């Protein structure tokens, strides 16, 4: 074998060994796998990541009067959500005020709950809490957008009152529904609301949402057609 041939063979062998010995990059311990998959994961990947802004200036009243009739159907938002989420619903003669019904499977606990007006253990939860939204972008919004957010059916669920109060204004990094079969849908709803309203997430929150959604990568992204601005008739203090 000539010197040139021996040199070529040596270079080829070196390249082969280098390729064979290449070590695949290992993700940092505890980090969720890359977000790939269905619509919810794709939307999560696009959410901006920032630190939590101060809660300074937050006031529930800056999101308008509770349960305003922003869709113009002459019924308050709370009754709209109860009528949507409960089974065997009864209403008062005004055709709006829900007086009783059954939450067949509470999304937060998995229990069956009975609604009876005035003695209920059911709350209407903001999936993305108003205070959490305030600290991740809503403090810059005009009143019409905050009112729309607080009354958007996409961001509202009838749930167990105890679980709702345990959640408080937590994001997905610090609270998830105890009823684990609902966690994929809950995470997808969080992502859908934050995408719709242009809210950001913290790094810990984004990682937590990815950990929930990666085992169920086909989870769809919930959609809602409510506008992100309340009608001009509604107003709220800045």
25-43 pLDDT tens trace: 333 445 444 445 689 999 9
Contact call for residues 47 and 130 (beta carbons, < 8 A): no
**Which residue from 92, 65, 69 is spatially nearest to 81, judged by alpha carbons?**
69
104-150 pLDDT tens trace: 999 999 999 999 999 889 999 999 999 999 999 999 999 999 999 99
Whole-angstrom distance, CA of residue 219 vs CA of residue 151: 24
Whole-angstrom distance, CA of residue 83 vs CA of residue 25: 51
Specify the DSSP class assigned to residue 64.
-
Contact call for residues 49 and 131 (beta carbons, < 8 A): no
The length of the chain, given as a count of residues: 238
pLDDT band at 18 (very low <50, low <70, confident <90, very high): very low
The pTM of this model reads: 0.83
Question: For residue 230, is pLDDT > 50?
Answer: yes
């Amino acid at each position: 074998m000539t010197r040139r041939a021996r040199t070529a063979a040596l270079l080829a062998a070196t390249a082969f060994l280098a390729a064979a010995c290449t070590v695949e990059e290992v993700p940092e311990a505890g980090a969720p796998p890359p977000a790939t998959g269905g619509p919810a994961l794709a939307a999560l990947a696009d959410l901006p990541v920032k630190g939590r802004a101060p809660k300074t200036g937050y006031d529930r009243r800056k999101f308008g009067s509770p349960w305003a009739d922003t869709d113009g159907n002459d019924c308050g938002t709370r009754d709209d959500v109860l009528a949507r989420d409960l089974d065997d619903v009864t209403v008062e003669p005004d055709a709006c005020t829900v007086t009783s019904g059954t939450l067949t499977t509470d999304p937060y606990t998995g229990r069956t709950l009975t609604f009876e007006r005035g003695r209920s253990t059911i709350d209407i939860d903001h999936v993305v809490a108003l205070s959490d939204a305030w600290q991740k972008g809503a403090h810059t919004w005009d009143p019409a957008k905050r009112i729309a957010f607080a009354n958007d059916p996409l961001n509202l669920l009838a749930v167990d009152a105890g679980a709702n109060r345990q959640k408080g204004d937590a994001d997905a990094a610090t609270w998830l529904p105890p009823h684990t079969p609902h966690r994929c849908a809950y995470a997808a709803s969080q992502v859908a609301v934050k995408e719709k309203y242009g809210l950001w997430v913290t790094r810990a929150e984004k990682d937590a949402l990815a950990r929930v959604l990666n085992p169920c990568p086909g989870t769809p992204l919930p959609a809602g057609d409510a506008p992100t601005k309340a009608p001009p008739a509604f107003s709220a203090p800045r």
